[in-house]
Amino acid sequence: MGVLDGKVALVTGAGRGIGRGVALLMAEEGASVVVNDLGASLDGHGVDTGPAASVAAEIKAAGGNAVANTDSVTDWQAAEGMIQQAVDAFGKIDVVVNVAGILRDRMVFNMSEDEWKDVLNVHLKGTFNVCRWASVRFREQRSGCIINFSSNSAFGAPGQPNYAAAKAGIIGLTLNCANGLSRYNVTANAILPSGHTRMIDSIPRAREAVAHTGKLPSELAKGTDKDPENVAPLIVFLASDAARSVSGHIFGSFGFSYVLMSQPKIIKTLRSDHRWSVDELSELIPKAFGPELETIKNDSGFYNKIQEIPGGQWVDLGNGREFWGSKLEPYGENVW
Amino acid sequence: MGKLDGKAALVTGAGRGIGRAVALELAAQGAAVVVNDLGTSLGGEGSDQSIAQQVVDEIKAAGGRAVANTSSITDYDAAGEMVQQAVDNFGQIDIVVNVAGILRDRMIFNMSEEEYDIVAAVHLNGTFNTVRHASALMREQRSGRIINFSSVSAWGSPGQPNYGAAKYGVLGFTAVLANSLNKYGVTSNAILPGATTRMTDSTPRGLEFMKEHGKLPSEMAEGTDGDPANVAPMVAYLATDDAQHINGHFFGVRGTTIALYSHWEMAGVLTAEGRWKPEELIELFPDTLGKTIKAPEPVTLPGSPRPLKGAAAMQADPATWKTLAPGIELWERSTYFDAKR
């Protein structure tokens, strides 16, 4: 008995890394899975039907149900085909998990048009394509679950203007799905994952690690808190019937910790009984917003922030599990 | 003496609505302005070169300096030429304000590929294109101001999967700019505007208004809370040297109210010594992270035409405002500041 028995899921980018871990655990918990992966290189070049097929084979060897799909999420019709493949193979579609992604890091002042467009295309349009076609089915069957992968890079990673814009856009799209599809009993949540995958292998810090250990970070991650498979249990939970009332939120997975994010909201408002002049604003904005203009930072180092939570603030849940809760409201400025 | 004397600005979408008001205000403060507007319809069709020129004429008639540009920001090279036009005409580029935008609203399950593509191209690629070229020059001159237009639609407006995604993307992009360009003296901030323009004319509420009053809301906006001119002073302020310390922030601006947004923070954490099992989350979630997960119900107040949510619901109580100066009041989200204590 698994917590996803009888469900049908599409996982994009499921051939390697985090996506693979999600597909394997969903299948282990009883879901039938369309394993999508184009098998492209990290920067989006080339194709290889191997990764998707091998994950599907792995699932089947363990007694699960899976089919492989090697199309690109950037292709509107191919995204429709992925949903259709789930319906044809398993009778319906209950869950879509959008993990597929590429990297083309560059500072904004040096970035090429292609570096921008390719990354936006895979992450944001690819996620839109899959959500668009899944939402048609979800609306008809009056149920569904959307889990989209964003990133803490969305909150301001300096060398990733393209990736951050796309990953932030995915949060916006997810909130739109949550609000637009709630009447059809569809949930939508966004994930900030972590884990040592080939994405991490590509960053400068990883090259230092190779110099030290002779191995890539991804090769040393298995079983540690850097293992990309650590993200999967959160995804399975959100896809399960136990999370039917959880929608419109941003969750992070960092090490062995899961985070519920507090979304941006209005914290101060200044109002006048007349139209502002620029001179007035020069005087009053620092006075009204001063401390927050200094203290609010686009700082996404959540892994470290978790380590910095003082020991006394954790609530013991038994078996080595602990909970830390702030009084911050998780939902955003919910104007809709 | 203006607050922006000697500065050169590019304002996209400056032919109408908020963009026009921003261009006029920057010029009134002494900036020389490249007035960019393709002159398209709200949906992005067609073009009309006179739209940008009218604003240039208006600025010049008032004694200011301006040139027109009628290219599309979706064109990477054309965006580079806009920045170059500022340099050629005014010697430099100090300020970029990205206002240009279009709408193609549709529920996600009915949206076409083109409706997604064109909205993403204008809002996201367009904002990148101007910033990409301007940031290279701002980096060299060690100063600059980038002000990007996002929207409250980013928070999940149901019929706008394309626009909402693009506008949240603009927030992420702005955060990157803030973190990567500040060392060069460049600040980057985002505005979530509210105004009665042709964009809001197209909404169901706008069409209802038309039926009732025989006029579009935008035609009756002047002098009201919805006047797009109300958004301009905050943009001009962020462009001044006075605002050098303001970087990476999101401001909601409508009428005579200016709101400051918090950013993404951790609300709660579940941690373990090893990998979680789904069953453990099912067991522990409801009484931990799940406790605060429901947003409060909207509040309907006597006299309010529709239920209020979020800050608007809290701000309805006059007692939550304190006077900062004559005619000027400040509201603080008590739940946020209590949590911070």
- Taking only the tens place, the pLDDT of each residue in A306-329 is 999 999 999 999 999 999 999 999
Judged by CB atoms within 8 Å, which residues 103-142 of B form the interface with A? 107-109, 111, 113, 116-117, 120, 124-125, 128-129, 131-132, 135-136, 139
B293 touching A, CB under 8 A? yes
Residue A327 tokens, joined:
């009084």
- Residue in A256, A127, A104 with CA at minimum distance from that of residue A195: A256
CB contact residues (below 8 A), chain A span 243-272, against chain B: 243, 245-246, 248-250, 252, 255-272
Q: How far is A73 from chain B (nearest CA, A)?
A: 13
Q: How confident is the model at residue B334 (pLDDT cuts 50, 70, 90)?
A: very high
For residue B225, what are its two tokens? 């809370």
pLDDT category at A230 given cuts 50, 70, 90 is: very high
CB B165 within 8 A of CB A177: no
Pick the closest to residue A320 from B280, B267, B282 (CA basis). Answer: B280
At B236-259, the pLDDT tens digits run 999 999 999 999 999 999 999 999
Using 50, 70 and 90 to split pLDDT, how confident is the model at B208? confident
pLDDT digits (tens, 9 = 90+) for A24-45: 999 999 999 999 999 988 888 8
Question: What is the reported pLDDT for A336?
Answer: 62
Beta strands in A6-79 (DSSP E): 8-12, 32-36, 66-69
Tell me which residues of B are annotated as active site. Answer: 151, 163, 167
Architecture of domain A8-260: 3-Layer(aba) Sandwich (3.40)
Contacts of A325 in chain B (CB under 8 A): 267-269, 288-289, 291-292
Q: Positive or negative, the Cα torsion across A309, A310, A314, A320?
A: positive
Cβ B237–A169 below 8 Å, yes or no?
A: no
pLDDT at B138: 98
Say what the pTM is. Answer: 0.97
Nearest Cα residue to A94 out of A149, A44, A135: A135
B169/A contact by beta carbon, under 8 A: yes
Q: Give the best residue of B262, B314, B329, B334 to mutate against chain A (max A CB count within 10 A).
A: B262
Percent residues over pLDDT 90 in chain A: 86
Q: Which residues of A touch B311 (CB under 8 A)?
A: 265-266, 269, 333
With an 8 Å Cβ cutoff, is B336 touching chain A?
A: yes
Distance CA A50, CA B320 (A): 61
Reported ipTM: 0.97
Six-digit token string for B219: 């035609």
A151 among known catalytic residues: yes
Structure tokens given for B150: 């996002």
B8-260: CATH number: 3.40.50.720
Query: Which phi and psi angles does B322 have, rounded to 5°?
Result: -120, 145
- Cα separation, B252 vs B248, in Å, equals 14
